C-alpha cells in the first residue's frame, strides 16, 4: 500500500466528515471524482490503483483527466470544474502531510478552473407554473402528492435534495407557517409559507398521516422519492401542461427550474437580492446574481404586445420602440 490510500482515507474521514461536516451528497460527489481519477490513472500508467503514488498524480495526468471528462465522458465545464475543486481540496489536505511531494502538489493546485459562458436561467411564467400545477390529476393519490410538492417547490424554491429530505415534522402550518430544511453545508433555514401553500400542505398532511419522522412526499411503499422519480414526475406533468400552455414546450423544465421560478417571482416583486439569497440558502450573494442577468433579458415581442394592449394610449410609443428594435426606425 502506498501513502495515497491512507491520505485519501484521512481526507474523507478526518477532513470532509470530521472537520467540515460535509453533506452525504458532497461526500458522494468527491468519492466519485477519485474513483474516476484512480481508474483513469491506472489505465494511463498501467499501474494497479493500490500501487499509485501521490507523485503519480502530477499536473500533466490531472490535466489529461480533466480533458478526458470533457471529451470522452462529455461532462460539462461546470462538472469538470467541480471535479477539479475536489482534487484541489484533497491536495491541500495532502500538502502538510507529504512535504516530499510538495512540488507535485503545488503544480496541481496551480491548475485553474476553466472559464465558460453562463446561460441565462430558465424559469416559468405565472401561466406556465399554473398549468404545470393544474396538470396533476388530483383524483389520484400520486396526483395529490405531486400537486402539493409542486406548489411547495415553486413557492419556496427548495432544492431537489431538500424536497427529498423533508419529513412530516419539518412542516409548520399553524401560526408562523414555515418549512424547515437542512441545505448545502448542513445549513438550516426556515422558509415562510404563503396561505395557498399552507392550504395545500394541510390537506396533504391530513391525508398522508404517518409519524413525524416519515418522508413528507413518499412513494406508494412509504420510502422517500428519489431524484430520478421526482424528475420523472415533473416531466410527466410538463408533457400534460403543454396541452393547455404551449409555451412551456419550448423550455427544458426540471425541478431546478421551479427553484429559478421562485427566485424570479421574488425578484419581480421587488425583494432585495440579499433576502433572496437567504431565502434560497445561497452561501454567497454572487450566486444569486444570476437572476439579475435573467431579469435583464433581451426585449421580447410578446412583452411589447402585452404592454401595447394594456395601455392603449401608448400604442404609438410601443410601435416606435419595436421599430427601433427591428431597425425599421432610425435613432
d(CA 202, CA 209): 11
**Lowest mean pLDDT, pick from 115-119, 132-136, 260-264, 265-269:** 115-119
Confidence of residue 186 (pLDDT cuts 50, 70, 90): confident
d(CA 17, CA 25): 12
Length of the chain: 331
State the average pLDDT over residues 292-300: 57
Taking the domains of the chain in order of start, what are their residue ranges?
4-109, 126-295, 300-331
Contact 125, 247 (CB under 8 A): yes
- The tens digit of pLDDT for each residue in 131-182 reads 999 999 999 999 999 999 999 999 999 999 999 999 999 999 999 999 999 8
Say what the pLDDT of residue 294 is: 66
**Lowest mean pLDDT, pick from 74-88, 185-199, 268-282, 294-308:** 294-308
d(CA 293, CA 78): 19
- The tens digit of pLDDT for each residue in 84-110 reads 999 999 999 999 899 999 999 999 999
Report field, pTM of the whole predicted structure over 0.85: no
Confidence of residue 295 (pLDDT cuts 50, 70, 90): low
d(CA 252, CA 258): 11
Beta bridge partners of 190: 180
Q: Is 216 exposed, middle or buried (0-12, 13-18, 19+ CB in 10 A)?
A: buried
Say what the pLDDT of residue 271 is: 85
**Phi, psi torsion values for 25, nearest 5 degrees:** -65, -40
State the average pLDDT over residues 243-272: 91
Q: Which CATH number fits domain 126-295: 1.20.1630.10, 1.10.287.70, 1.10.443.10, 3.30.420.40?
A: 1.10.443.10
What residues are annotated to the active site? 159, 184, 256, 259, 282, 291
State the average pLDDT over residues 7-34: 88
C-alpha to C-alpha distances, 327 to 42, 44, 227, 305, 331, nearest whole angstrom: 59, 56, 47, 18, 9
Amino acid at each position: 500500500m502506498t501513502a495515497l490510500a491512507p491520505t485519501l482515507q484521512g481526507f474523507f474521514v478526518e477532513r470532509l466528515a470530521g472537520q467540515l461536516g460535509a453533506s452525504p451528497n458532497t461526500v458522494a460527489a468527491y468519492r466519485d471524482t477519485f474513483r474516476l481519477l484512480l481508474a483513469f490513472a491506472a489505465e494511463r500508467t498501467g499501474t494497479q490503483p493500490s500501487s499509485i503514488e501521490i507523485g503519480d498524480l502530477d499536473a500533466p495526468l490531472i490535466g489529461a483527466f480533466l480533458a478526458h471528462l470533457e471529451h470522452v465522458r462529455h461532462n460539462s465545464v461546470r462538472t469538470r470544474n467541480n471535479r477539479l475543486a475536489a482534487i484541489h481540496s484533497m491536495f491541500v489536505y495532502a500538502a502538510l502531510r507529504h512535504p516530499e511531494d510538495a512540488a507535485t502538489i503545488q503544480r496541481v493546485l496551480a491548475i485553474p478552473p476553466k472559464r465558460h459562458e453562463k446561460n441565462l436561467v430558465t424559469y416559468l411564467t405565472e401561466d406556465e407554473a399554473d398549468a404545470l400545477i393544474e396538470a396533476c390529476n388530483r383524483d389520484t393519490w400520486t396526483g395529490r402528492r405531486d400537486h402539493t410538492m409542486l406548489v411547495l417547490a415553486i413557492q419556496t424554491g427548495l432544492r431537489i435534495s431538500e424536497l427529498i429530505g423533508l419529513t412530516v415534522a419539518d412542516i409548520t402550518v399553524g401560526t408562523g407557517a414555515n418549512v424547515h430544511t437542512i441545505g448545502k453545508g448542513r445549513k438550516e433555514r426556515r422558509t415562510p409559507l404563503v396561505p395557498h401553500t399552507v392550504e395545500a400542505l394541510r390537506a396533504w398532511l391530513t391525508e398522508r398521516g404517518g409519524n413525524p419522522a416519515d418522508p413528507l412526499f413518499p412513494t406508494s411503499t412509504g420510502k422517500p422519492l428519489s431524484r430520478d422519480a421526482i424528475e420523472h414526475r415533473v416531466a410527466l406533468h410538463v408533457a400534460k401542461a403543454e396541452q393547455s400552455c404551449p409555451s412551456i414546450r419550448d423550455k427544458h423544465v426540471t425541478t431546478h427550474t421551479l427553484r429559478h421560478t421562485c427566485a424570479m417571482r421574488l425578484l419581480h416583486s421587488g425583494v432585495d437580492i440579499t433576502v433572496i439569497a437567504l431565502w434560497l440558502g445561497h452561501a454567497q450573494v454572487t450566486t444569486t446574481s444570476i437572476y439579475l442577468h435573467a431579469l435583464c433579458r433581451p426585449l421580447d415581442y410578446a412583452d411589447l404586445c402585452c404592454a401595447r394592449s394594456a395601455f392603449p394610449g401608448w400604442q404609438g410609443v410601443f410601435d416606435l420602440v419595436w421599430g427601433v428594435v427591428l431597425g425599421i426606425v432610425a435613432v
